[in-house]
Amino acid sequence: MMTRRHLLFGGIGLCCAGAARLFEPERRFSRAGIAFGTTVRLTLVAASEARAEAALDAGFEAMRAVERAASLFDPASELALLNRDGRIERPSADLARLVEAAVTMAEASGGAFDPSVQPLWRLKADAAATGTAPEAARIAAARALVDWRAIEVAPERIGFARPGMAITLNGIAQGHAADRVMAALAAHGIEAALVDTGEFGGRGRPWRIGLRDPADHGRHLDNVTLEDGFLATSADDETVFDRAAGEHHIIDPATGHSPRGVHQISVMAASGLIADGLSTALMVVPAPARQRLAQRFGATIVSVA
């Protein structure tokens, strides 16, 4: 399963809270857990433990809601039911938002980001589990099911235009979760927080994030300061199907194989969902088109390795 541990650390320098808070000093609180198949962590600044705990509870519930909508590994998730039946009636707001955003990113990227690559992903993952490579004919058959334009999205129904299709939302779900968590914390009066759902969101303080070197996990490439925005990273070094052939979890829908020439891309944007989707799409689009696509969403490419 894909995990995104490309960000080494988050740090904060806390300054004086001011005279207005002398009798209610702010403190830092943190909680870790497991979501999306990886370790997640929420860190926030609050005036009381009670407020912090309530906010942390709400933040983790927001993540669980996204998992219930978009997990490929929970057979009871909405996404699993959609892929099983080819349609789902009255989707949750989370699932509808994710699918709509995935289709929008697919259109903007000319299909470089395509959530309907799931049949290809599953074929490659199953072959890797047995130490084999999928045959060309099976890759061609799976590619025939990949077409974001065949995803039908309406307020009351999501479905596929042809049988056998399936989608993955792994390329945007953790970023969307970061958005949802940050909103939940804000609703509880939290003004300063660092959210790590596998993608990062920072607000209210200059949080320092280290970008890990995909070729050497013991070192980092650069530091990024995140104060009011979101940072997402996609890389080729986590879920690897065939290392010798360069096949990993990011797939170019046009070829059925993993893109070459770039190992990791980090993107900063005002939305975690946008940053997450772009970091995936930019691994696939040709290098000359990367800046144009990022600018279309008001995002910044902060690192390419």
**Do residues 53 and 132 both lie within one domain?**
no
In a domain, residue 232? The reply is yes
Give the model's confidence band at 24: pLDDT under 50 very low, under 70 low, under 90 confident, else very high.
Answer: low
pLDDT at 213: 86
Higher pLDDT, 25 or 256: 256
Of the residues 136, 160, 184, which one is the last residue of a structural domain? Answer: 160
In a domain, residue 193? The reply is yes
In a domain, residue 292? The reply is yes
In a domain, residue 32? The reply is yes
Q: Tally the domains of the chain.
A: 2
pLDDT averaged over every residue in the chain: 91
β-pairing verdict for 157-160 and 264-269? unpaired
Of 101-110, 161-170, 244-253, 296-305, minimum mean pLDDT range: 244-253
CB 93 within 8 A of CB 125: no
**Do residues 281 and 296 both lie within one domain?**
yes
**Do residues 144 and 271 both lie within one domain?**
no
**Do residues 188 and 264 both lie within one domain?**
yes
Strands (E), the chain: 7-11, 27-35, 38-46, 87-89, 151-154, 157-160, 192-196, 200-213, 216-235, 240-242, 247-248, 264-269, 300-304
Average of per-residue pLDDT across 117-129: 95
**Do residues 187 and 146 both lie within one domain?**
no
Residue 94 neighbours by CB under 8 Å, 6+ apart: 65, 66, 68, 69, 70, 176, 180
Q: Give the H or E element holding residue 49.
A: helix 49-70
**Do residues 202 and 298 both lie within one domain?**
yes
Average of per-residue pLDDT across 156-171: 97
CATH number of the domain that residue 296 is part of: 3.10.520.10
Query: pLDDT, tens digit, for every residue of 230-260?
Result: 999 999 987 899 988 889 999 999 999 999 8
In a domain, residue 245? The reply is yes
Q: Is the pLDDT of residue 284 over 90?
A: yes
CB 90 within 8 A of CB 121: no
In a domain, residue 1? The reply is no
**Do residues 247 and 285 both lie within one domain?**
yes
**Do residues 49 and 91 both lie within one domain?**
no
Q: Is the pLDDT of residue 286 over 60?
A: yes
Instruction: Look up the domain containing 207 and give its range.
Output: 7-17+26-72+171-304
- The span from the CA of 278 to the CA of 84, in Å, is 27
The pLDDT > 90 percentage for the chain reads 83
**Do residues 52 and 120 both lie within one domain?**
no
In a domain, residue 2? The reply is no
CB 276 within 8 A of CB 174: yes
**Do residues 128 and 275 both lie within one domain?**
no
pLDDT at 272: 98
**Do residues 117 and 251 both lie within one domain?**
no
**Do residues 58 and 187 both lie within one domain?**
yes
In a domain, residue 92? The reply is yes
